[in-house]
């Protein structure tokens, strides 16, 4: 008996939607393709934002904010960029509404249409062109937390929505070497954050030409494997060369007094990280939240049968005291957060609600427990019936350790799953196609040699497969391309993706 229906193995997309509903993370809004992020889901995002923001600032970046609306002419300055985003842009053409026959009609046409921010390279580049004059102004290291709009035809909560939340870093450098160093440094920040805080094992590497960010010279990525074997692009970092500095006229006077175009980067992660956590850590009872980003670490469930008001009151008082004691402790640099669930609901109903939300620890305390000086503790990384008796002192002492064990277990379980579903033994195109067309068994990633021919990327679309990245840890051995049989130049990671 499981809390979620359908089960993962029967209908993974259906399971994903039901986990979001059952765990009370988010819901569809009246605006097609947009989502309402509910408190439990937004609490996750707040913790993601807080933790990552510190890591970004620790590398020398500062936060700023730029306009939501971008003049159409700004996008037109960078041909590849506008081509890459043109089909996803929402455009504002009027600035006023007037009533006509009982209906509101747009009037007051704008002189120039405004694009609702799909990404901010062009509008930020306009500011940077005014802020940068000399080599002494560099490097310029800026980040912003914002919302963006990309008009999705097939929206899915957290993964692809018309509006979503993210951070986007934008930096300016005097040399190509320094800009590439920045790009790779931020990719490492994303990798460390994904693995250490979200417990998401990721594979870092460079995107192939066919998967590159529009207008970038090089795009780097971290790729995670979901439980259905598909890849999720969890974060990207782009070396933009001088492409955007030329289109936005970001120039500086070098040490010799000569004018040069600067080198720029951009990088970002979004609320799709929450979707990734669901699909990597969730089980058939709902969400499982890594403790380091959990909105609440512990829920205390007082058992008050109602037969003896005095005993019930004593249980509630004990629960509050225990909560206060636990909250005086720290885990992974922040205070342990505890919720005492005093709602007038049955104990079983409340217990299952918190299981589905994925809270790391559940603590039950009733009149008998109070008499014995014990509580019953359940971990979300264990079966829901697996509960252990602990004294109040033992619980207080071991809570940080328990939370870290859960965090590490989630990471290790996800890593073991991913590693066991990466196929490395395929040698021919026939074996490759057979792997992705098989009817039984898990279809995950294929890691194999590739010749670098961009034409093969178009052919992969027939299998609904793409090159997820050219992994950072190349083994250096020369071999034959799995797609063409030609001499290979690099190792690639192939897979289906979200």
Q: Given this model, what pLDDT does residue 441 score?
A: 83
In a shared domain, residues 73 and 112 = yes
CATH number at residue 243: 3.30.930.10
Q: Given this model, what pLDDT does residue 79 score?
A: 74
Domain count, the chain: 3
Residue among 436, 431, 424 at smallest CA distance from 477: 424
In a shared domain, residues 32 and 129 = yes
In a shared domain, residues 194 and 132 = yes
26 three-class SS: strand
Q: Given this model, what pLDDT does residue 307 score?
A: 86
Write out the E strands in 181-272: 203-206, 218-225, 231-239, 251-253, 259-261, 263-270
Q: Given this model, what pLDDT does residue 81 score?
A: 82
Q: Given this model, what pLDDT does residue 83 score?
A: 83
Report the distance separating Cα 352 and Cα 427, nearest Å.
48
Range of the domain at 377: 296-408
Torsion angle of C-alpha atoms 222, 224, 229, 231, degrees rounded to 10: -40
Exposed/middle/buried for residue 294 (C-beta within 10 Å: 0-12, 13-18, 19+): buried
Q: Is residue 3 part of a domain?
A: no
Residue 6, preceding bond cis, omega within 30 degrees? yes
In a shared domain, residues 100 and 231 = yes
pLDDT tens for the chain, 498 residues long, are 799 999 999 999 999 999 999 999 999 999 999 999 999 999 999 999 999 999 999 999 999 999 999 999 999 988 778 788 889 999 999 999 999 999 999 999 999 999 999 999 999 999 999 999 999 999 999 999 999 999 988 999 999 999 999 999 999 999 999 999 999 999 999 999 999 999 999 999 999 999 999 999 999 999 999 999 999 999 999 999 999 999 999 999 999 999 999 999 999 999 999 999 999 999 999 999 999 999 999 999 999 988 899 999 999 999 999 999 999 999 999 999 999 999 999 999 999 999 999 999 999 999 999 999 999 999 999 999 999 999 999 999 999 999 999 999 999 999 999 999 999 999 999 999 999 999 888 899 999 999 999 999 999 999 999 999 999 999 888 899 999 999 998 999 999 999
Q: Is residue 2 part of a domain?
A: no
Q: Given this model, what pLDDT does residue 270 score?
A: 98
Q: Is residue 207 part of a domain?
A: yes
In a shared domain, residues 404 and 426 = no
Report the distance separating Cα 201 and Cα 225, nearest Å.
8
Report the distance separating Cα 190 and Cα 198, nearest Å.
11
In a shared domain, residues 377 and 437 = no
Q: Given this model, what pLDDT does residue 456 score?
A: 96
CATH number at residue 311: 3.40.50.800
Q: List CB contacts of 100: < 8 A, sequence separation 6 or more.
A: none
Q: Is residue 291 part of a domain?
A: no
CATH number at residue 432: 3.30.110.30
Q: Is residue 7 part of a domain?
A: no
In a shared domain, residues 444 and 341 = no
Q: Is residue 253 part of a domain?
A: yes
Domain end, chosen from 408, 440, 470, is at 408
Backbone angles phi, psi at 83, to 5 degrees: -65, -40
In a shared domain, residues 370 and 467 = no
In a shared domain, residues 138 and 67 = yes
In a shared domain, residues 390 and 460 = no
Q: How many residues does the chain have?
A: 498
In a shared domain, residues 455 and 477 = yes
Q: Can you read off the two tokens belonging to residue 234?
A: 């969890």
């Amino acid at each position: 008996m499981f809390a979620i229906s359908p089960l993962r193995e029967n209908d993974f997309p259906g399971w994903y939607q039901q986990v979001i509903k059952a765990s009370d993370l988010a819901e569809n809004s009246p605006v097609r393709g947009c989502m309402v992020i509910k408190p439990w889901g937004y609490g996750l995002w707040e913790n993601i934002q807080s933790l990552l923001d510190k890591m970004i600032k620790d590398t020398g970046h500062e936060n700023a904010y730029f306009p939501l609306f971008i003049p159409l002419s700004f996008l037109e300055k960078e041909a590849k960029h506008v081509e890459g985003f043109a089909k996803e842009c929402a455009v504002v053409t009027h600035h006023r509404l007037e009533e006509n026959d009982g209906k509101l009609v747009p009037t007051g046409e704008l002189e120039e249409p405004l694009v609702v921010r799909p990404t901010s390279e062009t509008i930020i580049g306009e500011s940077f062109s005014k802020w940068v004059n000399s080599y002494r102004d560099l490097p310029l290291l800026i980040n912003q937390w914002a919302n963006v709009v990309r008009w999705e035809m097939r929206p899915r909560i957290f993964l692809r929505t018309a509006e979503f939340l993210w951070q986007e870093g934008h930096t300016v450098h005097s040399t190509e070497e320094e800009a590439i160093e920045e790009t790779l440094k931020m990719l490492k920040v994303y990798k460390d954050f994904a693995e250490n805080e979200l417990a998401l094992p990721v594979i870092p590497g460079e995107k192939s030409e066919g998967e590159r960010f529009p207008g970038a010279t090089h795009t780097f990525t971290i790729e995670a494997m979901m439980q259905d074997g598909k890849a999720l692009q969890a974060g990207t970092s782009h070396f933009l060369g001088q492409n955007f500095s030329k289109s936005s006229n970001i120039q500086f006077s070098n040490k010799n007094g000569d004018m040069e175009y600067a080198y720029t980067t951009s990088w970002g992660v979004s609320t799709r990280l929450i979707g990734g956590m669901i699909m990597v850590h969730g089980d058939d009872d709902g969400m499982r939240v890594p403790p380091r980003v959990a909105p609440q670490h512990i829920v205390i469930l007082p058992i008050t049968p109602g037969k003896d008001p005095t005993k019930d009151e004593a249980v509630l008082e004990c629960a509050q005291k225990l909560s206060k004691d636990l909250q005086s402790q720290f885990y992974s640099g922040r205070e342990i957060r505890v919720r005492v669930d005093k709602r007038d609901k049955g104990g079983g109903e409340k217990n299952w609600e918190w299981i589905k939300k994925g809270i790391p620890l559940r603590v039950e305390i009733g009149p008998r427990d109070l008499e014995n000086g014990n509580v019953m503790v359940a971990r979300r990384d264990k079966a829901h019936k697996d509960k252990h008796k602990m004294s109040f002192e033992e619980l207080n002492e071991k809570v940080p350790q328990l939370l870290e064990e859960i965090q590490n277990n989630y990471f290790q379980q996800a890593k073991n799953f991913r590693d066991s579903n990466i196929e490395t033994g395929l040698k021919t195109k026939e074996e490759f196609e057979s792997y992705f067309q098989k009817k039984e068994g898990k279809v995950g990633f294929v890691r194999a040699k590739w010749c670098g021919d961009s034409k093969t990327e178009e052919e992969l679309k027939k299998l609904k497969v793409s090159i997820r990245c050219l992994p950072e840890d190349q083994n250096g051995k020369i071999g034959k391309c799995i797609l063409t049989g030609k001499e290979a130049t690099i190792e690639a990671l192939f897979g289906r993706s979200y």
